[in-house]
Chains A and B, each alone.
Chain A
Amino acid sequence: MKQSGFEYYAPQSIPEAVDLLSNLGENAFVMAGGTDLLIKKKHGMITPDAVVALKQIKGLDRISVGPKKGLYIGATALLADVAANAGIRKNYPAVADAAKNTANVQIRNMGTVVGNLCNASPSADNAPSLLALGATLSITGPQGERSLALEDFFTGPGLSALKPAEIVTAVTVPPPLSNSGTAYVHLSARGKVDCSAVCVGAHVALKGRKVIKARLFVGACAPIPMRTPGAEKTVLGKIFTEKLAENAGEVASEEALPITDVRATQDYRNSMVAVMTKRALLLAHKRAV
């Protein structure tokens, strides 16, 4: 790939990285794995004067899973490591599934879960499951640290609520409720390696057979990974059945706002939102019981 004309910085700490970004101005870009940033540069979508790489910051690639603290994925934790982590596979299988279904082997060995979120693609594979789980981002910037619900992070295709010189340092998920389950399902033209045409994250919690909590998110079918509250209402407070999941899928399909693009047509996406929402609900329910 032809690359030219940027300075490269590898700070050793987050405060140092924030200082660099503040001083370098808006044409300095944060880089974790680089698998999106360098492609954007190649395609002329961005022309960075400076790249601030995070991979040398010690401990930033930490992954931890605990019964009290929940799930912590640091900014430079690799997709491959999240996908293979035994604790995540056991307690947050939807998070591992999403990481495993992101791009291909080599990209997963370079790219990060947090980077996938920060790239803010509407089709980001790791967004729907983490949104469904009610994930929170830890952000550090010139004004200090703050937390932001992932749900409030995405503002448009490639756009996020990050302010200048802010860095997402981690994504965290609270410990799972008992009798709850989460699922990630996706669909793409080539099945494995390409961007999802439709992806759905579903989270349900049960009391007996009754659904007491439901969170549903659809990716690649709106300018941001979007919530489908009508579909959630369809299942909430009801006894879970396959028919109920199907009804929720139909409601989600009415709520989604897909367009036709290279990956799929609007019609196809609308139909598939129903199917994928149903499948995600069925799998989440299976994991909850």
Chain B
Amino acid sequence: MKHDIQLTVNGDTYSLAIDPWRTLNQVLREDLNLTGTKLGCGSGDCGACTVIMDGRSVSSCLTLAVEADRKEVLTVEGLAPSGEELHPIQEAFIEKGAIQCGFCTPGMELSALHLLSQNPKPTEKEIREGLSGNLCRCTGYNKIVEAISVSADRLNRKTSKRKSR
């Protein structure tokens, strides 16, 4: 039996009828054409499929789409504030050369976003721990850690500017 769900992705709400065994990853990629979210291992080890659901990073390959009903999902397509500018995490990834083949990048960036939402000033060790569920086959980890550190600084500066106004 198909289930009717309401899925909010990057601020847009979709009404869908889906088979209960389909994963959030499949629905994002196949039904909504949001192919920025990748599918790697399919078993929650590699983090390529990471999305943010109701404020937490989750593996979309292990999340049944029915369980995302009435929840808010953020994918990499929704990370940039507009079509004109990138999110500070994305900017830092480009500047620091934290992108090689790019396959792990969406998952890395969303894990970074989750980490910084919980811990705005992470140490290098905390950044590495925060990325423990994301694998990069190009092994560009140092650049990725650097990029997240730089974006944390910039986001903190933005926040303190806003506060001092």
Q: Does B88 contact A (CB under 8 A)?
A: no
In Å, the complex CA distance between A114 and B23 comes to: 23
In Å, the complex CA distance between A75 and B114 comes to: 24
Query: Across the interface, which residues of B come within 8 angstroms of A208, CB to CB?
Result: none
Whole-angstrom distance from the CB of A145 to the nearest CB of chain B? 27
Q: Does A148 contact B (CB under 8 A)?
A: no
In Å, the complex CA distance between A35 and B114 comes to: 19
B5-26 interface bits toward A, Cβ cutoff 8 Å, 1 = contact, 0 = none: 0000000000000011111010
**Chain B 31-65 residues near chain A, CB threshold 8 A:** 39, 42-45, 47, 50, 56-59, 61-64
Inter-chain residue pair count (beta carbon < 8 A): 86
Query: Across the interface, which residues of B come within 8 angstroms of A80, CB to CB?
Result: 56
In Å, the complex CA distance between A233 and B61 comes to: 47
Q: Does A109 contact B (CB under 8 A)?
A: yes
Q: Does B122 contact A (CB under 8 A)?
A: no
In Å, the complex CA distance between A110 and B67 comes to: 11
A43-71 interface bits toward B, Cβ cutoff 8 Å, 1 = contact, 0 = none: 00000000101010000000000000000
Query: Across the interface, which residues of B come within 8 angstroms of A35, CB to CB?
Result: 44, 59, 62
Q: Does A42 contact B (CB under 8 A)?
A: yes
Is the pair B43, A8 in contact by a Cβ cutoff of 8 Å?
A: no
A183-194 interface bits toward B, Cβ cutoff 8 Å, 1 = contact, 0 = none: 000000000110
Q: Does A262 contact B (CB under 8 A)?
A: no
Query: Across the interface, which residues of A come within 8 angstroms of B25, CB to CB?
Result: 1
In Å, the complex CA distance between A191 and B40 comes to: 22
